[in-house]
Chain A
Amino acid sequence: MSKKQVNWDKLDNTALLFPAIASENMTNVYRVSAVLSEEIDRAALQKAFNRVLPAFKAFKVRLRSGFFWYYFEENPRKPPAVEKEITFPGAYIDRSVSNQYLLRLSYHEKRINLEMFHALSDGFGVITFLKEIIYQYLRIRYPEALAGEPDSLSTDIFLDKEDSYIRNYKKPGKDRKKYVRTDALCITGPEFERPEIALIHGHMPVSALKEVCHRYGTTINTYLTAVYVWSIYKSVLNGRAGEKPIRCAVPVNLRPYYDSHTLKNFFAIIGAEFLPDREGYTFPEILEIVSESLKSQMNRSNFDEIISYNVSNEMNMMLRIVPLFIKNFAIKQVFSASSHSYSTTMTNVGPVKVREPYKPYIKGFSVMLSMSEGQNIKAAIISYEDLLTVTFSSCLSDTSIQRCFFQELTKEGIPVTIETNGMYGEA
């Protein structure tokens, strides 16, 4: 019989959605990969994982169903085995083969992939965790070269697992804003057989990108979002007018706005919106529209409203006492009905900073988003040193949006190299 009290935790406000809608075709898995300078040693990686995971209590959990809500419970099982990569990127995490953990650590040649169910954390948490695994791995692999490094977690990270949505929740007033959006342009076309997914990584120097952004007087995030919207406008609508807006979901890390260090989810989605109400928009015009759209939403008061709106549903006593299976059904219906609000998603997890002694061993990072209903293509951005990597994940066999995106960048004089996961094959 158990000797100590089992820790358990509620799911954060955003996480409540994911278990209800997750499936093999909509995995809600977030993946961050790192490429090292040498081939990965499986035994050393497993050792590093086994040492680091117990320290991250927020991730050493399993998902359990209560009568009214899901909840996380400390997982007493040993960490899952580090796997050789055999599945599609962002594939469904089968809990029956992962010791009930909601994450998967795999490797292929020089690459380490950490995949995590979104109910656990967002990009910030996944990157923090992956960096610590890599540091530990490198200390095991190169004990002499890294002899000066303390064999423990970095002292600049937080292991906080508060629900920052609840902490920053303010009861909405009677005139609370409702977040009902019209349907956005849906990007469709011939698809791969689900759950097959195609990746295209595009690498470019941050310095060259900054130069172009400086010329346009904008930020990297806004510029790349605008190029993405422009690419959809050019390749899906062929530059014609359309009735539905192109709306790109842009997740924003809320931690800097609310002084939070939580490892749990803490982000809000804002939409970069462009309505092609006439023909022949130029790129500078679209950049201005996207920039205005983002600027108007990227402020603390808007985030306050988003948090209040989302959390107030969770706080509603009438909804709380509804049994879980009914909640799941309702969440699925609501999600399905609202899934066409966005055409796509572009997330930017920003620059990854690595501790100086480990830099020579780490060559780069990439991040990818899995598919969701209504969005057949998504993009994710990450940068490391002077290298920025944009990763398009798509279940569409057509690559015209990606082509338009990268051609627009090269037209501006930015050198770009691309690579794929082999799904597009030879013409």
Chain B
Amino acid sequence: MKYCSNCHLGVQDDIQSCPLCHKVLDVMPDEEENRYAGLDHSMGTYPDARLRHRRIRFILRVILLIFILAAVAAAFVNHYVTPNVRWAWIAVAALVYIYFFLWFWVRNDTPVIGKVGLMLVVTMVLLLIIDHFTGAHGWALRYAVPGLILLGDGIIFLFMIISKDAWYSYLLTLFLFAVCSIVVVIAYLVLGRENITLPMICLGVSILYLLATYILRPREFGREFRRRFHV
């Protein structure tokens, strides 16, 4: 064991200078050996986590740089090649959206179904905004949002089949999609849009799906909702 004659303590690390005062370390003096007997216990070395951590951070920064370069390139091409159509904004928005979800998937430890649910809901909202700012033709409400809800129902069905022992875990997301489909139909009726077929199919599928889980497994259904909504 090494010894710091400034701090008067033993240093177990394999280093040249004291981590506290930075004085160059001595060998343990003979007269101190007895006092330090029994203190040669070491917690052991530690792996270099800094290297791994910095590597991950660097990769994320490289990806960010690529996205920024792609956005700048889109704006540049748009400005010089097709100056009459401002499509670059959509490209930039799409890049921001993709980067956000890449980051969210990698950095967030929410269960997969939570990520899928959030991703679909955010996408629905984004599509509604895009529709609104590109002439309000109603395609988002008529096709895109109901389509995403049906996709969500399908993903939940798949998840329930895969993890049979924890199928109830997906009930809240299923419930969320049923609520979304009700909101879509209400919005449809309030806005007086035509051709309500797909939103109604979507509502029917979501409600029937929820109802089917209740009829087939009423006890687990009840318990899951009691857990989720306990006050």
- Which residues on A are within 8 Å of B, measured CB to CB? 1-3, 5-6, 8, 10, 24, 33, 35, 64-69, 71, 73, 76, 84-89, 91, 94-97, 100, 108-111, 193, 195-196, 199-205, 320-321, 363-364, 366, 386-387, 389, 399, 402-403, 406-407, 410-411, 415-427
For B8, what are the chain A residues with a Cβ–Cβ distance below 8 Å?
Answer: 407, 410-411
Q: Does the CB pair B9–A410 fall under 8 Å?
A: yes
Q: Does the CB pair A71–B41 fall under 8 Å?
A: no
Q: Does the CB pair A415–B36 fall under 8 Å?
A: yes
B38 contact from A5, A109, A202, A387, Cβ within 8 A: A387
B50 contact from A2, A65, A94, A196, Cβ within 8 A: A196
Given A2-B165, A204-B39, A418-B12, also A320-B231 (CB < 8 A) = yes
CA A422 to CA B43, docked complex, whole Å: 12
17 extra A-B contacts, CB within 8 A, seeds A66-B229, A202-B9, A417-B10: A2-B166, A2-B167, A67-B228, A76-B166, A86-B49, A95-B109, A96-B109, A100-B111, A109-B45, A193-B54, A364-B41, A417-B9, A417-B12, A418-B12, A418-B20, A422-B13, A422-B46
Q: Does the CB pair B36–A94 fall under 8 Å?
A: no
For B38, what are the chain A residues with a Cβ–Cβ distance below 8 Å?
Answer: 205, 386-387
For A416, what are the chain B residues with a Cβ–Cβ distance below 8 Å?
Answer: 9-10, 39
CA A130 to CA B150, docked complex, whole Å: 47
Q: Does the CB pair B43–A426 fall under 8 Å?
A: no
Contact with A along B16-36 (1 / 0, CB 8 A): 110111100000000010011
Q: Does the CB pair B220–A73 fall under 8 Å?
A: no
A-B contact pairs, 29 of them (CB 8 A): A1-B167, A1-B216, A2-B164, A2-B217, A6-B223, A64-B169, A64-B228, A66-B227, A68-B229, A68-B230, A85-B46, A94-B109, A95-B109, A108-B44, A203-B41, A204-B39, A320-B231, A364-B41, A389-B43, A399-B19, A407-B7, A415-B10, A415-B32, A415-B39, A416-B10, A417-B39, A418-B13, A418-B20, A422-B45
Shortest 4 CB-CB contacts between residues of A and residues of B = A427-B22, A417-B10, A403-B20, A421-B46
Chain A residue with the shortest CB-CB distance to B42 = A419
Q: Within residues 42 to 83 of chain B, which ones have a CB less than 8 A from any CB in chain A?
A: 42-50, 52-54
B121 interfacial contact with A, CB 8 Å: no
Q: Does the CB pair B46–A89 fall under 8 Å?
A: yes
Q: Does the CB pair B19–A69 fall under 8 Å?
A: no
For A426, what are the chain B residues with a Cβ–Cβ distance below 8 Å?
Answer: 15-17
For A65, what are the chain B residues with a Cβ–Cβ distance below 8 Å?
Answer: 114
CA A63 to CA B161, docked complex, whole Å: 22
Chain A residue with the shortest CB-CB distance to B224 = A6
CA A73 to CA B166, docked complex, whole Å: 11
CA A66 to CA B231, docked complex, whole Å: 9
**B36, B48, B49, B230 interface centre (most CB from chain A within 10 Å):** B49
CA A69 to CA B226, docked complex, whole Å: 12
For A89, what are the chain B residues with a Cβ–Cβ distance below 8 Å?
Answer: 46
For A364, what are the chain B residues with a Cβ–Cβ distance below 8 Å?
Answer: 41, 43
Q: In angstroms, how far is the closest chain A Cβ from the Cβ of B197?
A: 32
Q: Does the CB pair A406–B9 fall under 8 Å?
A: yes
Given A2-B166, A417-B12, also A35-B109 (CB < 8 A) = no
Given A407-B8, A417-B10, also A87-B49 (CB < 8 A) = yes
A363 contact from B15, B41, B216, B229, Cβ within 8 A: B41
For B216, what are the chain A residues with a Cβ–Cβ distance below 8 Å?
Answer: 1
Q: Does the CB pair A399–B20 fall under 8 Å?
A: yes
CA A421 to CA B231, docked complex, whole Å: 44
B1 interfacial contact with A, CB 8 Å: yes
Q: Does the CB pair A68–B231 fall under 8 Å?
A: yes
CA A1 to CA B40, docked complex, whole Å: 56
B168 interfacial contact with A, CB 8 Å: yes
Q: Does the CB pair B168–A422 fall under 8 Å?
A: no
